[in-house]
Chain A
Amino acid sequence: MKAFLGGCVAAVLIAVVAALVLGGLGMSSQEVFQAAQSVRL
């Protein structure tokens, strides 16, 4: 049960973080894409 609830909470948290990164910080999707492209591993 704890693992199930943990999975639910984690899914919501990851989605919220993704929403904040993509939308809440004022970056357009193109800016995020360009930033991701500029990353050199």
Chain B
Amino acid sequence: MKVGRMYSRLAGAVLLASAFLLIGGVAEVGGIWANQAVAQSGGSVRPPADAKRWSPSKPGTIRPQGGDAQKFGKPGGQPKTLGPQKSRSGMWGDIRRGVQGKVSIPHQRAGYLIQPGQTWRTLRNTKVFNFGVWVLAGTLIVLFLFFVYRRRIPIDGGESGKTVERFNNLERFAHWLTAVSFIILGLSGLIMLYGKSVLIPILGKSAFASLAMIGKVAHNYLGFAFLVGIVLMLVLWIRHNLPDKYDLPWLMKGGGLLTKGHPAAKKFNAGQKMIFWSTVGIGGYIAYSGILLLFPEARSLADLQSLQYWHAVLALVMIAVIIAHIYIGSLGMKGAFQAMGSGQVDENWAKQHHSVWAEEAAGKGKASSGGAAE
């Protein structure tokens, strides 16, 4: 009896297992049959009847090569959303001139394949480039001719042996802060403008690249030191640089640079006032535009190009002015450098070039008999 039950359970289990095998086997065989049927019908999976199909690439389109539908067992083709676009003969010209495409990211300027800067680039590499050559070369030639004509302007009557304080420590500090930063800014700016033409043939590309990179970093950050120097000088010297009755006669006589006699002047003569206001005005604009150029995200490309153009042009003018200033303050005039060197100038020099100020200084007791100026 027990044996009969066992057989009947075993038979039930075999029957159940056979049923599972039968169902699974039919499904598998059905899949194979289905694949065989697809293969026999042409080797591709047919898209739905309402699917949009692009036509194959034709000459005159810029559509990438590739199939329009996924083949059975092959990688997928191009996305259905990429349609063919007609090319035009002027298309790349338009892109080069700065036609903007559409982008879905917030940075809209990424829509430019080529930034619209060809006009600015040409202007910078021709007009600004040549303007700088003429201005700087012209200044050097004029100064050379002036030196040949006038030589070093001497102190009338020689050094007296007595000195008078012309600039105190704070004034000289402000001057040198501005001067040192401007010289490095000017040199690094000239490297940016003329380095490719002048320095690469001399130094080579690798050395020039290092120099230009250092110059660029210095240029970016020393602008702030220059700005601080300008503000300091403005605070310290603005009251001495306001127009007065001595300016017009000084200008009428050419500052006495071309003649022996010297017109009267207070602490700063009309020429020095022009340099002061050039430094504050033009130098101030150069610093202002330079700082704006450090934040390109905040402005349009056209604004940035305009700012850079005026930044470069006015900087070249300023460099020319400062070259003349350096000449007359050192090689061109005996006794002038001591004003910013030690701060003490010879009394005779003071009477010769700043007679009104010399009298005022003598009245205030600034003169000392500590020997000749250094």
**Which A residues fall within an 8 A CB radius of B?**
1-4, 6-8, 10-12, 14-19, 22, 29-30, 32-33
Are A7 and B177 within 8 A (Cβ)? yes
**Which B residues fall within an 8 A CB radius of A?**
169, 172-181, 184, 217-218, 220-225, 228-229, 294-298, 340-343
Instruction: Write the nearest CB–CB distance from B140 to chain A, whole angstroms.
Output: 25
Instruction: Write the nearest CB–CB distance from B322 to chain A, whole angstroms.
Output: 15
Instruction: Write the nearest CB–CB distance from A17 to chain B, whole angstroms.
Output: 8
User: When chains A and B are docked, how far (Å) is the Cα of A30 from the Cα of B297?
Assistant: 6
Contacts of A19 in B (CB 8 A): 217, 220-221
* Secondary structure class of chain B's binding surface, majority of residues: helix
Are B343 and A3 within 8 A (Cβ)? yes
Are B294 and A22 within 8 A (Cβ)? yes
Known contacts A4-B172, A4-B180, A8-B180; 17 additional CB pairs below 8 A are A1-B341, A2-B169, A3-B169, A4-B176, A4-B341, A7-B177, A10-B228, A11-B177, A11-B222, A15-B221, A17-B224, A18-B221, A19-B217, A19-B221, A22-B221, A29-B294, A33-B297
Interface pairs (9), CB distance under 8 Å: A3-B169, A4-B172, A4-B176, A7-B179, A8-B176, A11-B222, A15-B181, A18-B224, A29-B296
- With contact pairs A2-B169, A33-B298 given, residues A15 and B343 touching in the complex (Cβ less than 8 Å): no
Are B180 and A30 within 8 A (Cβ)? no
- With contact pairs A7-B177, A8-B176 given, residues A14 and B297 touching in the complex (Cβ less than 8 Å): no
User: When chains A and B are docked, how far (Å) is the Cα of A17 from the Cα of B184?
Assistant: 17
Contacts of A29 in B (CB 8 A): 294-297
Contacts of A3 in B (CB 8 A): 169, 172-173, 175-176, 340, 343
Contacts of B175 in A (CB 8 A): 3, 7
Instruction: Write the nearest CB–CB distance from A32 to chain B, whole angstroms.
Output: 7
Instruction: Write the nearest CB–CB distance from A30 to chain B, whole angstroms.
Output: 4
User: When chains A and B are docked, how far (Å) is the Cα of A1 from the Cα of B176?
Assistant: 10
Contacts of B294 in A (CB 8 A): 22, 29
Contacts of B176 in A (CB 8 A): 3-4, 6-8
User: When chains A and B are docked, how far (Å) is the Cα of A17 from the Cα of B227?
Assistant: 14
Contacts of B296 in A (CB 8 A): 29
Are B295 and A10 within 8 A (Cβ)? no
Contacts of A8 in B (CB 8 A): 176, 180
User: When chains A and B are docked, how far (Å) is the Cα of A33 from the Cα of B299?
Assistant: 11
User: Can you name the residue of chain B whose Cβ is closest to the Cβ of A7?
Assistant: B176
User: When chains A and B are docked, how far (Å) is the Cα of A18 from the Cα of B218?
Assistant: 11
- With contact pairs A11-B180, A30-B297, A33-B297 given, residues A16 and B221 touching in the complex (Cβ less than 8 Å): yes
User: When chains A and B are docked, how far (Å) is the Cα of A8 from the Cα of B179?
Assistant: 9
- With contact pairs A30-B295, A30-B297 given, residues A14 and B224 touching in the complex (Cβ less than 8 Å): yes
Sorted nearest first, the 6 A-B pairs with minimum C-beta distance are A7-B176, A3-B172, A15-B221, A7-B177, A14-B225, A11-B225
User: When chains A and B are docked, how far (Å) is the Cα of A32 from the Cα of B181?
Assistant: 23
Are B173 and A7 within 8 A (Cβ)? yes
Contacts of B218 in A (CB 8 A): 15
Are A10 and B225 within 8 A (Cβ)? yes
User: Can you name the residue of chain A whose Cβ is closest to the Cβ of B221?
Assistant: A15
User: Can you name the residue of chain B whose Cβ is closest to the Cβ of A15?
Assistant: B221
Instruction: Write the nearest CB–CB distance from B292 to chain A, whole angstroms.
Output: 9
Contacts of B340 in A (CB 8 A): 3
User: Can you name the residue of chain B whose Cβ is closest to the Cβ of A11?
Assistant: B225
Contacts of B295 in A (CB 8 A): 29-30, 32-33
Are B177 and A10 within 8 A (Cβ)? yes
Contacts of A12 in B (CB 8 A): 225
Instruction: Write the nearest CB–CB distance from B220 to chain A, whole angstroms.
Output: 8
